[in-house]
Structure 1
Amino acid sequence: MTHRRPDELPVVQFRARPDVIDLGWGHPHPAALPTDAWATATAGALRRYGSAALSYGYAAGPGPLVEWLTERLGRVDAYRPEADQVFVTAGASQALDLLAGAVCRPGDAVLVDAPTYHLALRIVADHRVDLVAAPTDRDGLDPAGTAELVRSLRRRGRRVPMLYLVPTFNNPTGRSLPSDRRAGLVAMAEEAGLLVVEDDTYRELSYDGPAPASLFSTAATGTVARVGSFSKTVAPGLRLGWLTADAGLVAGLHRRGHVDSGGGVNHTTALTMAEFAADGGYDRHLSGILARYRRQRDALVTAVRRHLPDARFDVPGGGWFLWLRSGADRVDLPGPDELLARAEAAGVSYLEGTWFYPGRAAGRDRIRLSFSRLDPAELAEGVRRLAGALTDGDA
Structure 2
Amino acid sequence: MIQFEHRPGILDLSWGHPRPGLLPVEEWARASAAASREFGWRQLTYGYATGPAPLLEWLAAHLPSATDQLFVTAGASHGMALVASLLAGPGDVILVDSPTYYLAFQIFADTGATVLRAPADEDGVDPDALAAMLEGRRVPLLYLVPTFANPTGRSLPPDRRRALVALAQRTGLTLLEDDTYRELCYEGDAPPSLWQLSGGDGVVRLGSFAKTVAPGLRLGWINADPALITRLATLGYVHSGGGVNHSVATTMSCFGASGAYQRHIAAVRAEYRAQRDALVSAVRAYLPASAPGGGWFLWLPLPPGVSATGLLAEAERRGTSFVPGPRFYVDGVGGDDRIRLSFSHLAPADLAEATDRLGAALPSVAAD
Report TM bin, short chain: over 0.9
Distance 2:200 2:345 in 1: 38
Corresponding residue to 2:293 among 293, 308, 317: 317
In the other structure, the counterpart of 2:152 is: 173
| 8 Å contact kept, 1:169–1:318 | yes
In the other structure, the counterpart of 2:95 is: 111
- List aligned pairs for 1:1-395, cutoff 5 A: 11-74=1-64, 81-151=65-135, 154=136, 158-306=137-285, 308=286, 311-328=287-304, 332-334=305-307, 336-392=308-364
Question: How much has 1:292 moved relative to structure 2?
Answer: 0.4
Tell me the SS of whatever aligns to 1:362.
coil
Q: Which stretches of structure 1, 4 residues or more, deviate above 3 A after TM superposition?
A: none
| 8 Å contact kept, 2:309–2:336 | no
Distance 2:365 2:66 in 1: 57
- Once the two structures are overlaid, the 10-residue window that deviates more, 131-140 or 346-355, is 131-140
- Aligned residue type for 1:180: D
User: Unpaired runs of 5+ in structure 2?
Assistant: none
Distance 1:58 1:34 in 2: 27
| 8 Å contact kept, 2:280–2:290 | no
- TM-score of the aligned structures, taking structure 2 as reference length: 0.97
| 8 Å contact kept, 2:219–2:248 | yes
Relative to structure 1, the CA distance from residue 172 to residue 91 in structure 2 (aligned partners, 3 Å threshold; closer, same or farther) is same
Relative to structure 1, the CA distance from residue 205 to residue 337 in structure 2 (aligned partners, 3 Å threshold; closer, same or farther) is same
Question: How much has 1:394 moved relative to structure 2?
Answer: 9.7
| 8 Å contact kept, 2:314–2:365 | no
| 8 Å contact kept, 2:283–2:289 | no
1:197-225 CA distance string (max 9 Å, x none): 00000000000111000000111543000
| 8 Å contact kept, 2:312–2:321 | yes
Distance 1:186 1:88 in 2: 24
How many residue pairs are counted as aligned between the two chains? 367
| 8 Å contact kept, 1:198–1:224 | yes
Question: How much has 1:131 moved relative to structure 2?
Answer: 1.2
Q: Percent identity?
A: 54
- TM-score of the aligned structures, taking structure 1 as reference length: 0.91
| 8 Å contact kept, 2:310–2:365 | no
Distance 1:216 1:264 in 2: 24
Distance 1:111 1:313 in 2: 29
1:340-387 CA distance string (max 9 Å, x none): 111100111001111110121111111100000001111011111101
Distance 1:220 1:238 in 2: 29
Question: How much has 1:337 moved relative to structure 2?
Answer: 3.5
| 8 Å contact kept, 1:109–1:161 | yes
Question: How much has 1:314 moved relative to structure 2?
Answer: 3.5
User: Unpaired runs of 5+ in structure 1?
Assistant: 1-10, 75-80
1:70-129 CA distance string (max 9 Å, x none): 11002xxxxxx2111000000000000000001001121111110001111121111121
- Aligned residue type for 1:357: Y
| 8 Å contact kept, 2:311–2:365 | no
Distance 2:351 2:11 in 1: 8
Distance 2:290 2:71 in 1: 34
Distance 1:223 1:314 in 2: 33
| 8 Å contact kept, 1:169–1:203 | yes
1:28-72 CA distance string (max 9 Å, x none): 000110000101110110100000000000000000000000110
